[in-house]
Amino acid sequence: MAEREPVIGIDLGTTNSVVAFMQDGTPTVIRNRASTNLTPSVVALSKTGKMLVGQIAKRQAITNASDTVYAAKRLIGRKFSSPQTQDGVKSLPYTVSAGEHDDIRIQLGDKHFSVPEVSAMVLKELKLDAEAFFGKPVRKAVITVPAYFNDGQRQATKDAGRIAGLEVLRIINEPTAAALAYGFGKSVNGKIAVFDLGGGTFDVSVLDVSSGVFDVIATGGDTYLGGEDFDNRLIEWLVFDFAKENGIDLRKDRMALQRLKDSSEKAKIELSTSKETQINLPFISSPPGGGTALHLQKTLTREKFEELCGDLIAKTITICEQVLNDAKVKSTDLKEMILVGGMTRVPKVIDAVKTFFRRDPCKGVHPDEVVALGAAVQADALTSEDSEVVLLDVTPQSLGVAVAGGYVRRLIPRNTTVPTSVTEVFNTSKDEQTTVKIMVLQGEAEVAHQNELLGEFILTGLRKARRGEVEIDVTFEINSEGIVSVSARDRETGLQQSIQVTASGGLTEDELKRILEEQADLMLEARTGEEIQTRKLELKGLMKEVEELIPQLDKATQGSEFGQDAISKAKSALENARKAFDAPMLSKVNESMDTLTRTISLFKGVLERIK
Amino acid sequence: MAEAEKVDIPEERQKEILAIEAKLASNHFEVLGVSAGATSEQVRDAFHALSRKFHPDRFHGKQLGSFKGRIDAIFRRLIEANSILTDPAKRQAYLDANPFVRAAIRAATGTTAAHQPVAAKTAEEESRDAERRARLSRHPYLAKVTAVQDHLGKAKAHIAKGEFSHAFTMLNLANQIDPQNVEVKTLLADVRKKAEHLRSDTDYKRGLTALEEGNEDLAIGAFKAAVNASASNHLAAFKAAQLLEKNGGDVKEISIFAQKAVDASPMTVEYRVLLARMLELSGMKALAKKHFEEALRLGPDHPDVKKHVKKRWPF
């Protein structure tokens, strides 16, 4: 048998990303080159001008807050002026600006990147991980998106895949992928629900599964509700109390903000297993006009955490109610309930879900990996001859056009199985009119402007006639990926009408082309050997930096207990790094780099405060 | 030609695709290959089974040629059929608009789908339905089709109950909206005739009752009305003529009704004889002779012939 070209499934998450493939009929996660399953979706431009992706980028975030991008997924495909972006910008340590057509640009160093470009860096990292694993180039992938993503967000994700040098076979919905991984290879028959609360987005889907057919009946969600929002609640609480005590707004200091974010996330994770946790941030700030450095020290109980985030959890349950209602399914009709996403480890979330669905969630599904595994199943189903898997997904939001008076005419209601299309007749309203403008909207609001504007389509070159005489059939189509396209035809002449699309939000085709050209020379496939060599050089640099910092810190802390403890830890880290350098194992090298980066950021932070 | 095309689909599957493509214009049940009136569950199972074969993903990355369009169209049609038949409100609306399908269900199951329980609608479904109806009604073409189908459905219900004049009204409305609709036109002609017969028959019976009661004036009026409603009601025409003669009515008027009776039933001897006598009375001897001869030919032994014709022989 000829060996098949490898195809991968990628879960491009808000916080973490995972890549998987089909190994002898079993979906399997591909570990990254640092030997972990999860790759943080973090991209940074180091002080030395190097692009860092993943764990290494996350580790240096504190010392390099303004040039470290996380949670890019919360921005992808959105407009700069959208309320979500405006809300997000306030709590982001990196700089976000408006692009030419109200799109979002992220600043790294002195360069401005589009969001798909940043996401592409994460995808490329995953692609390289897969290539290191297979020992050959990987070109084809299935990428997942939240089910509630709209057309623009899906397009932008696909663009990111293209920029990363991947042929995106299919964009599929995360909860659907989870159901696929859960039901694959089992004889599951019946209705199942998937509750997916991730780092940045929330989805819930109800599926009807019957021998290999995964038929989504209804889906709902919120693309701006996830772990990040829980973290932000904790940060607000810490910042507010700190401001009350010391009169200082920590959010104004990017480094402090990044440290707050880090410790909030850690505290949240710890509270999943323990009843209370300590938040300890020494030297967080120095008071204006001099004086001793300020420390932030607080105890956070699980009760307090639940109180701070209670409304977020309630919001997910409201959406669940609506989806069950749409699916015309009672919770007792469900065969199984699957929890997906890191946030479903939070005890209060589990409790709320259990109470609402009146059942224990399914055990044996890994909440962080199941989506990537499902993507791998679909990737395999699309490329292999004998797959039994068929996905029938739905469009999460209604599609409509703006009509006179600022209202919406719904053309395709939400939860319609895709692919689907609808044809609508448009008339000219003036004599000799040669163009017709159509505004395509996505969303459930009755009023046009409260929906997402997918784009403005202008029918041009209409034949000249009296008003109302020219009738144009406009066909709106949603494909299997949930991506919308529009075509038009003159009813009488049968001529295809040209349509001009004015992009809103995402990248235009020209921009995408330019980016792809610029990247062409960077598209060379990585080789593991070369990779180790470069990483070793980087490690050497880091070791040197730590060695130089140790005497400085010693002097600054003047033999205090904290200082001595830190220095001895740094020395042992250096010792480990030397060992890793001699034994050329990529995972060990990466591990040491992480430790050293962490040490450097801590030392620098302390030195800066003491000075 | 599809046969000559080089496509990356097994021949067996190609045949299946062409076979289902040929069915696409049929009703939703037939497209899914289930019996008319199949339950939601049966519909969904059939849809899933067909999806396994015809979902475009099953042909991903293959050389499809003209089959690509076919497969896309088939799958879209399957989705449409499934989504309508598995949603109680949509199914109801579909059956209301398509009495043929409802008739097929009645034929297949012996029940009418109209009596199947429909789950109570939630407020949201109601509002969505209302929105859908409003949208449809805004659309001139759909509004026309829906209205015609609506009237047609009602008309058929009336026909089934024998209420031809109500059916006629409905069909007339439908015909005004869409004069091109062949079904409406043929039904309209048919129903018009039936409605006339019914009316004529009623008037005729009214006449007979009046006759029994001895009210001959009323009877004449009723029989005349019956003839006016339907020219083919020869019984009424003859009765009218007879009564008029008996009451010394105008010969011309009597011959008109006799003529109508003969026109509607040319083989009846009594009508001929009566007509001939009236013609003879009004001085049209040649015409009278022709009808006497015809009566003789039709029934040489008929009592009327013996009474009136034989004595005139050989004219």
Amino acid at A297: Q
Closest CA to A483 of A562, A572, A403, A421: A421
Boundaries of domain holding A243: 227-308
Q: Specify the range with the lowest mean pLDDT, choosing from A24-33, A101-110, B120-129.
A: B120-129
pLDDT-derived band at B220 (thresholds 50, 70, 90) equals confident
Domain boundary among B91, B114, B137: B114
A137 and A283 together in one domain:
no
Same domain, A80 and A120: yes
Check whether residue A88 and residue A108 sit in a common domain: yes
Residues A364, A218 within the same domain:
yes
Cβ distance A409 to B58 less than 8 Å, yes or no, reads no
- Asked if the model's pLDDT at residue B304 lies above 80, the reply is no
Q: How many CA atoms lie within 13 A of A357 on its CB side?
A: 31
Residues B50 and B151 grouped into a single domain: no
Q: Report the side by side order of strands in the sheet with A42-45.
A: A51-53, A42-45, A68-70
Q: Which domain holds residue B78?
A: 1-114
Q: Which residues contact B134 (CB under 8 A, 6 or more apart)?
A: none
- Residue B247 is assigned to a structural domain of this protein: no
> Are residues B58 and B156 both part of a single domain?
no
Give the confidence band of B138 by pLDDT, cuts at 50, 70, 90: low
**A residues 189-218 closer than 8 Å to B (CB):** 208, 210-213, 215
User: Residue A242: in which H helix or E strand, if any?
Assistant: helix A227-246
Average pLDDT over chain A, rounded to an integer: 87
CATH number at residue A134: 3.30.420.40
Which of A448, A474, A506 is the last residue in one of the domains? A506
- What the block records as the tokens of A81 is 């002026």
Minimal CA separation from A205 to chain B, in Å: 18
Q: Is residue B273 part of a domain?
A: no
Q: Which tokens belong to A14?
A: 């808000």
- Token output for A344: 């479903």
Residue B94, helix vs strand vs coil: helix
For B132, nearest residue in chain A (alpha carbons) = A410
The answer to whether residues A221 and A240 belong to one domain is: no
Shortest alpha-carbon distance between residue A304 and chain B (Å)? 37
pLDDT at B113: 47
Contact between B45 and A210 using a beta-carbon 8 Å cutoff: yes
The bridge status of strand A189-197 relative to strand A68-70 is unpaired
Q: Does residue B275 belong to any structural domain of this protein?
A: no
The number of beta carbons lying within 10 Å of the beta carbon of residue A28 is 14
Q: SS3 of B249, please? A: coil
Whether A18 and A108 map to the same domain: the answer is: yes
Q: In what order do the strands lie in the sheet with A399-403?
A: A407-412, A399-403, A436-442, A452-460, A496-502, A484-490, A471-478, A420-427
**Locate tokens 């214009």: which residue?**
B25
Q: Do A271 and A277 form a contact (C-beta atoms < 8 A)?
A: yes
- B167 domain residue, yes or no: yes
Task: Please give the pLDDT value at position A611.
Answer: 62
Q: Is residue A473 part of a domain?
A: yes
User: Are B93 and B136 contained in the same domain?
Assistant: no
The answer to whether residue B249 is domain-embedded is no
pLDDT tens for residues A504-540?
556 777 777 777 777 654 444 444 556 667 777 888 8
Asked whether the beta carbons of residue A480 and residue B44 sit closer than 8 angstroms, the reply is no
Better pLDDT: A195 or B300: A195
**What does the pLDDT look like over A418-442, one tens digit per residue?**
888 888 888 887 888 888 888 888 9
Domain boundary among A392, A424, A453: A392
Residues of A labelled catalytic: 11, 73, 174, 196
Residues B36 and B109 in one domain: yes
| Per-residue confidence (pLDDT) for residue A217, from 0 to 100 | 95
Question: Within a domain: residue A313?
Answer: no
Alpha helices (H) along A115-192: 115-134, 151-163, 174-183
> Do the chains contact at B75 and A382, CB–CB below 8 Å?
no
The answer as to whether B300 is a domain residue is: no
Q: Is residue B289 included in any domain, yes or no?
A: no
Whether residue A315 is contained in a domain is answered as no
Mean per-residue pLDDT over chain B, rounded: 82
pLDDT of residue B2: 45
Partners of A420 in the β-ladder? A478
Residues from chain B contacting residue A480 (CB–CB below 8 Å): 56-57
Chain segment B162-182, per-residue pLDDT in tens: 777 778 888 887 887 777 777
CATH no. for residue B144?
1.25.40
Considering only the beta carbons, identify the residue of B45, B60, B76 that sits closest to A421. Answer: B76
Q: Does B41 touch chain A (CB under 8 A)?
A: no
For the stretch B180-204, pLDDT in tens is: 777 888 888 888 888 888 888 888 8
In the sheet that holds A95-98, the strands lie side by side as: A95-98, A104-108, A111-114
Is A378 found in the same domain as A260? Answer: no
Cβ of residue A479 closer than 8 Å to a chain B Cβ: no
Last residue of a domain, one of B89, B114, B139: B114
Residues A460 and A449 in one domain: yes
Total Cβ atoms within 10 A of residue A294:
19
B177 and B104 both lie in a single domain: no
Number of folded domains that form chain B: 2
Q: What is the pLDDT of residues A318-360, one digit of tens each?
A: 999 999 999 999 999 999 999 999 999 999 999 999 999 999 9
Which pLDDT band, with edges at 50, 70 and 90, does A140 fall under?
very high
Among A88-97, A327-336, A597-606, which is the least confidently predicted range? A597-606
A120 and A236 in a single domain? The answer is no
Residues A15, A153 within the same domain? yes
Q: Is the pLDDT of residue B45 over 90?
A: yes
**Quick check: A370 and A26 in contact, CB under 8 A?**
no
Q: What is the pLDDT of residue A369?
A: 96
Instruction: Judge: A213–B48 Cβ closer than 8 Å, yes or no.
Output: yes
Does B30 or A510 have the greater pLDDT score? B30
Answer whether residue B22 shows pLDDT above 70: yes
If DSSP codes are grouped into helix, strand and coil, which group holds residue B30?
helix
Q: Which of A85, A166, A82, A63 is nearest to A124 (CA)?
A: A166
Total domains in the fold of chain A: 4
Last residue in a domain, options B231, B256, B276: B231
Average pLDDT of the segment spanning B290-299 = 81
A421 shares its domain with A379:
no
User: Where is pLDDT greater, at B136 or A480?
Assistant: A480
User: In the predicted model, what is the mean pLDDT of residues A5-32?
Assistant: 95
Residue type, A62: I
